[in-house]
Amino acid sequence: MSICPRCFSEIPEKSIYCMECGARISEVKGDTLALEGSDIEVYPEIARANLRRMQGNYEEAVSVCRQILGRFPSNETAHALMGDIYADQGKLGDAIQWYEMLVELAPDNAVYSAKLFNLRALYASQIAPPPPVELPEEKPAKAPSPRVWAYVVGGVLTLILVVSAFLAGARLSASQGASSPSQVASTAPPALNPANQPQDTPNRVIPPPTSPSEEPASPPAPPRGGFTGMSQPEEQVARAVSQRLNGLPIWCSYDPVNQTWQVRSSIRAGVLTRERLMQDALALAGTFLTQMPNEPSVSVALLLPSTNGEEILALSVQVPRQAVPQNYLQLGAEELNALFQTLKVWWNPSLNLQ
């Protein structure tokens, strides 16, 4: 028997957690194997809860996580999954509470802190929208003074008099011109002399009539892609894959030179383990290849959020169709590791994933 340094309760020798406060025995004894003992033991349940979350079956996912926390109160993976489940449903207040407990369990984990920071910022923007802009009051227009009205009326009368005088003079000139027909005849232009008109020679080439200039063609309409940087076919594939994965953000691109597809997705939250990323990458590849039955392979990239608001690449893998088993959603940790050893995989070395 030993004593828990947190609550001073007696701890059995073979126990992994303190049954009173949930402290891990590895924190007392320094046993590195016991540190991951709970995740190794409940990994199939963690994988099933995460799959239910991706499928939108949140009630069953919560039930599985609560069963895990009943046996292992300090399990980081279950805490993170609970936060992700409530975040997916838009319940940001509950998600923040779970991630606050997770940061208390692992204060040195930068990924947990970044996720908590992003959730708090999103929650603050929802509960405190920007204040409305107050427009200045419009002052009523001041009516013109009587002196101004007098100037306006006087100007209008003067203009009427000038126009009337001009019309009267024009009529007088027209009547005088009509009374002298000889003057009209003398001022008429002389008739054209047919002898002086130019004659067309037999060798003269008459140019054809010029056709009216054609208007320049209008530029083609821009593509109707709803996502930035994706063409319409790429957007259709991305939407189909996203619908099968419960609205998970998906970005697709096609390389016409190598004739290959790449699918990217952003991991919104969760415990960053190699098994978790392998499971998500395999689920993304299997869903894409199901939607595109004529493609022999697909390249999958998984991105993670960071504290500065940008995303970093965590995993990139080329997955051939023949490498995806039919039961890929039920693979355990050992089966996933064995499968990914046969694939072309790049891991981000700065993440130190275990």
Tell me, what CATH number does 301's domain have? 3.30.300
**Any domain includes 19:** no
The mean pLDDT value for 107-122 works out to 86
Q: Between these two residues, 273 and 7, which has the higher pLDDT value?
A: 273
Per-residue pLDDT at 136: 57
Choose one of 69, 96, 127: the last residue of a domain.
Answer: 127
Confidence class of residue 27 from pLDDT cuts 50, 70 and 90?
A: very low
Confidence class of residue 115 from pLDDT cuts 50, 70 and 90?
A: confident
Residue 68 sits in a domain of what CATH number?
1.25.40.10
Q: What is the CA radius of gyration of the chain?
A: 41
Alpha-helix residue ranges (DSSP H) falling in the chain: 26-29, 32-35, 37-55, 58-71, 76-88, 92-105, 110-127, 146-178, 181-186, 232-244, 274-291, 333-340
**Any domain includes 7:** no
Mean pLDDT of the chain: 74
**Any domain includes 17:** no
Q: State the Cα–Cα distance between residues 110 and 186, nearest whole angstrom.
A: 105
Per-residue pLDDT at 176: 59
Per-residue pLDDT at 156: 78
User: What is the CA 32 to chain-centroid distance, rounded?
Assistant: 41
Confidence class of residue 3 from pLDDT cuts 50, 70 and 90?
A: low
- Helices and strands: H and E segment counts in the chain: 12, 7
Q: Between these two residues, 347 and 149, which has the higher pLDDT value?
A: 347
Domain that holds residue 276: 232-351
**Any domain includes 268:** yes
Residue 248 has pLDDT above 90, yes or no: no
Total count of domains within the chain: 2
**Any domain includes 90:** yes
Choose one of 127, 145, 179: the last residue of a domain.
Answer: 127
**Any domain includes 250:** yes
* Minimum mean pLDDT range among 42-56, 122-136, 313-327: 122-136
pLDDT digits (tens, 9 = 90+) for 167-211: 776 676 665 554 444 443 444 444 434 444 444 444 444 444 444
Per-residue pLDDT at 183: 46
Per-residue pLDDT at 109: 85
Q: For residues 29 and 12, is the Cβ–Cβ distance under 8 A?
A: no
Confidence class of residue 160 from pLDDT cuts 50, 70 and 90?
A: confident
Task: Choose among 339, 251, 239, 336: nearest CA to 299.
Answer: 251
Q: State the Cα–Cα distance between residues 65 and 69, nearest whole angstrom.
A: 6
Confidence class of residue 142 from pLDDT cuts 50, 70 and 90?
A: low
Per-residue pLDDT at 167: 75
Choose one of 127, 159, 190: the last residue of a domain.
Answer: 127
Quickly count: other Cβ atoms within 10 Å of residue 187's Cβ. Answer: 8
Residue 108 has pLDDT above 50, yes or no: yes
* Minimum mean pLDDT range among 63-77, 99-113, 175-189, 235-249: 175-189
Q: State the Cα–Cα distance between residues 315 and 303, nearest whole angstrom.
A: 7
Quickly count: other Cβ atoms within 10 Å of residue 35's Cβ. Answer: 15
What is this structure's pTM? Answer: 0.42
Per-residue pLDDT at 124: 82
**Any domain includes 100:** yes
Q: State the Cα–Cα distance between residues 17 and 27, nearest whole angstrom.
A: 10
* Minimum mean pLDDT range among 31-40, 233-242, 257-266, 318-327: 31-40
**Any domain includes 339:** yes
Residue 2 has pLDDT above 70, yes or no: no
